[in-house]
Structures are given as C-alpha cells and as structure tokens.
Structure 1
Amino acid sequence: MCRWAAYRGEPQFLEELVSSPAHSLIEQSHCATRAKTATNGDGFGIAWYGERPEPGRYRDILPAWSDCNLKSIARQIRSPLFLAHVRAATGGGTRRDNCHPFVHGVWSFMHNGQIADFEHLRRPMETMLDNDLYAARTGATDSELLFLLALQFGLAEDPLAAIGETIAFVERLARHLERRELVRFTAALTDGRTLYAIRYATDLRAPTLYAAPMGGAGGYCLVSEPLNDDTDAWVEIPDGSAVVLGEDGVDVRLFSPAGRPAPQPEQARPELAVAG
C-alpha cells in the first residue's frame, strides 16, 4: 500500500509534509507504521498549485529517500495546495507514468488502495472512456484508470458524486463478470481550489486517513498516517467518509457509492479542530 499527504491553507513549503516532520513522507517511504508494507520504494511524486491553474508536477521511479532533488525542491517550493505520494506498487511496473499524482487539466489525483481482479476488469473499464480520456491514459495502474473514469462521470461538475459513480461502476462490473467485488479506496483529489479526500472500501477495510490542522486559520493536512507523535492533533477519518476543504473551511460528510447505503452518521463525522 502507498502513503500520501495533502495540504490546503496558507502557503507552506512542501518540506513541511515531505521531509521536515519526524515521520515525514520521505520517512514513511522506508518506515511506514500503519500500512501492510513498511517500505514504499516504487517511486514518488508531488503536484502543487501556484500562479497558473494547472498544477506543477515532479515524479520519478527512484525511492523518495534516495532522490537527490526531492528535498531541495520541497525546501524551495511554497504552495497553498499540494499533493505528495510515495508508491508501493500493487500493479503496473515501476515507471514514471505509474507514479502518482496523476494530472489532467486543472485536476490532480492520488490514491492508496486496490481493485481486486483488476487484470480481468481493466479492459471493460477502459471501454467506458471517451476517445480523449482514453488517449490521456499513459500508465497501467488501476489508480490512473479510476481517475479517468471519475473525469468521464462528471468530476468537474460534482466530484464526490463522480467518485461514487466510479466505484459503483467497478463494483457492478465485478459482479457482472463474476469476479471478486472489492474496491479499497483512500484518495485525495483537487481542482486547485478545493481539496477532497475519500475513504471507502467494499469490505469496510479501507486504507487509513488522518486529518490535522496546519498553518494559519482554516489550514489542514490530510495524510495516510500522522506526521508526528502528537496524538491529540490527529483525527482518524472513518471508513465511508469524505472530507472537503475549501474556502468555507472543512466539512466531513458521509460517502458511499451510488446505490449503496451510507454508514451511520455517528461513524462518519469526526470532530476536527480549527487551525490557528
């Protein structure tokens, strides 16, 4: 399983998530504590927003701990919204096109999870894409294909509904093809203005997601696992939840794929402190 971190708020240097904390993303790349595998050495990537609508992006196949440029870049780039990811491959080769975050237009996306029997579902999933989105697919991962399907299903108009329809489509397809029906999905995505994160799994065993205030008022980071040992600062986001970080602050709401019942409210609305 992969590890990732995302931030939205007052401009911060990327190193505040990527390299500076005691349990930074670089540290997690070789010593993750809340994942099935401690090592996430199959590449890394960062996407950040600045003066232009489209994000900048840097990805490589080297392990994050051994890339000589990553710390330097993270120390110099400051952004109000960025995503960072270290990869432990569950499918697709170790190549740059398979490293997160994935970018299309103003959107960027990164994912931790899996689709069971993906090799049997990939081709019918790809046939759902229109020609432009199919041509945009450059890698071989289930994560990139989930992102493109969400774009196909209306990500620009209603991001959470599009993700819900994407997951529901994959689950229905697996049932139809008599394959194992299992999607594990903890992801972050943004259009450069609002940051979204979703934690969901068909079997209620979704990869972890935590949130904590960071930076000035209204700033938050969302992570696969806490960046330090301050247990009072970090709130675990329950399975079946979506987090929306925008101009109006933070909102944690219920999430379920189209056609599935939502989890009980008391299981899905943690209290999050306000950054200050």
Structure 2
Amino acid sequence: MTTREVDMCRWLAYSGSPVSLEDLLFKPKNSLVVQSQHSKLGATTTNGDGFGVGWYGASARPGVFRSIEPAWNDRNLRELSALASSRRVFAHIRASTGSAVQQTNCHPFRYGNWLWMHNGVLTGFHAMKRDLAMAVEPTLFPEIEGSTDSEMLFFLALTFGLADDPPAAVARAVGLVEATARTHGIEFPVQMTVATTDGDTTWAFRYSSEGRSRSLFHSTDVSTLREQHPDNPVLHALSEDSRLVVSEPLGDLRGAWREVPESSVLTVHGDGEQLSDFAPIDPG
C-alpha cells in the first residue's frame, strides 16, 4: 500500500423542519452511530476515529461539536443529541489511516456561516501539500487548524469563491488538485463525496479522478414516501421540504433513497432539488 493520508468516512446532511439530533444520529435502523461500527458500503467497516456534528440555530454561524471519541462511545454526544434540534444538520464519523486523530481534524469544518465535510482522499497529499497550501488565499490561510486534505480542499474552495458560486468554486479547487497532482506524477488524486452549506442551501458532490466514487444517496420527497408507507408515523412528522443526503441509506424503507450519479452535484434548497453534472475546472 502506498503511503497516503486517507479519510474513509460516513456522513449525513439534513435540512427541513427542526428535528432532534437523536432522531438523526441514533434512532434510524442504519443510523450514523450504527455505521460507525458496522458500515455496509464504506471503504472501512469501522469509523471510530472521531466524529463531528454541525447545526444551525438562531445565529447565522453554526454550532460545531467534535470529538476524537468513537461516536458509539461518547456520552456527551448522546446527551447533546437528546436535547438539541435543528432545521439543518451536518454529521460525520471518521476513519483515518494517515492524518492524526485530533479534534481539529474532525469534520465538519467551519468558516463563518459555512460548513464542509468530506469522505474520500486526496492521494499524494503529502507530496502536494505545500503547493496546495500556497494556493490558499493568504487571509484565509491562518484559519486552517488541522492537517487533513479535507480541510485544505475546503479552504481552496473558499479561495475560489465558495460564497459566490459553490459548484464552480469546488470545480476549480478539484481542478487545481488534479493539475498539481500531474506535476507530481500522481494519476488519480481525487476521491470525494463532499457536502457544504451556507445554512440556507446544501450542495453535495460525488466525484473521483478515476470515475469510481464513494457511495452517495439522497432521500426521495416526503409526500411520495407517505403514499408508499401510510402507516409510518415518522414520515408524517416531517415537513414537505425535509431532505437527507447520506453516504449510505439510514434504513431499508422501499423507495426512500436514490443514488447520486457519478460526477454530479446535488443542490438542495427548501423542497427543491437540482442535479447537475460536475467536472473539474483547471484554474489556469
């Protein structure tokens, strides 16, 4: 195996009516906490190298709780989840085979009103790290706290205008990584499913340089699920605009999940969804 920093993780992004964090993280049949020990579709079965939760309340700036404890073993997560609720939640469980297990390396990452989380790897990151760091906007660079490729990708996207045009900014960040990788003789540098939000809209990306991306799914609209499963009380408690984007389905409810296609970006705003092609842009 080549030496590289790898994050093979699981995540979920929720938006809609306020929901208890416990309902998202603990109660589903294949909840994120269950996946932290028994992932079905991940590159690793166990994701025990920390976790993080980001959520929005009254302020535009989201709250973030991150820990190096395994999600299944953290009493503070259980306590927080039972009491906190939010209209928009990002949650991430981490499996690292390279970068340090420390709080600053746990997702989601935050800058201002933005959250970001990633499943995958920038292959050859150790060799490319200086080149990529030099491309980050100088005023943003001091805000990088950890040592992961995921956080570096976030700050490259911020550099390329994440606040103005998220799909284009991520495309330019990925394009820069691939261009840098070529100068280092790295063939397939990018493997990613990424979610980011400004607190109002969520963008989810599925892409890899090799064309073999990690799994990604999104929920179908709630009204369709209610018709298919009229006796399910959970579905009747959700608002029409409730949506989930996940690394792997949280349960086996028939018709509940659709796979996000390879090389695409899913935009979720209110009860609307838009699926578009995604391709890197060489920033030149």
- The normalised TM-score by structure 2 is 0.89
Matches of 2:142 and 2:62 in 1, distance apart? 20
Matches of 1:26 and 1:147 in 2, distance apart? 25
Contact 1:175/1:181 (8 A) holds in 2: no
Q: Which residue of 2 aligns with 1:111?
A: 118
1:100-150 CA-partner distances (Å, limit 9, x unpaired): 000000000000010111100011100011222110111000000000000
Matches of 2:202 and 2:11 in 1, distance apart? 14
1:1-276 equivalences in 2 (<5 Å): 1-212=8-219, 213=221, 215-247=238-270, 249-258=272-281
Contact 2:16/2:270 (8 A) holds in 1: no
The aligned length equals 260
Matches of 2:254 and 2:105 in 1, distance apart? 33
Q: Which residue of 2 aligns with 1:267?
A: none
SS in 2 for 1:257: coil
Contact 1:188/1:198 (8 A) holds in 2: yes
AA matched with 1:247: G
Between 1:21-30 and 1:207-216, the stretch displaced more is: 207-216
Contact 2:114/2:196 (8 A) holds in 1: yes
AA matched with 2:79: S
Contact 2:10/2:119 (8 A) holds in 1: yes
Cα shift at 1:248: 5.8
Q: RMSD of the alignment, in Å?
A: 1.4
Cα shift at 1:91: 2.9
Please list every run of 5 or more consecutive structure 1 residues that lacks an aligned counterpart in the other structure.
Answer: 260-276
Cα shift at 1:205: 1.1
Please list every run of 5 or more consecutive structure 2 residues that lacks an aligned counterpart in the other structure.
Answer: 1-7, 223-237
SS in 2 for 1:235: strand
1:147-172 CA-partner distances (Å, limit 9, x unpaired): 00000000000001000000010001
Matches of 1:150 and 1:98 in 2, distance apart? 18
Cα shift at 1:203: 0.6
Contact 1:91/1:142 (8 A) holds in 2: no
Contact 1:90/1:114 (8 A) holds in 2: no
SS in 2 for 1:74: helix
Matches of 2:252 and 2:112 in 1, distance apart? 37
Moved over 4 A (4+): none
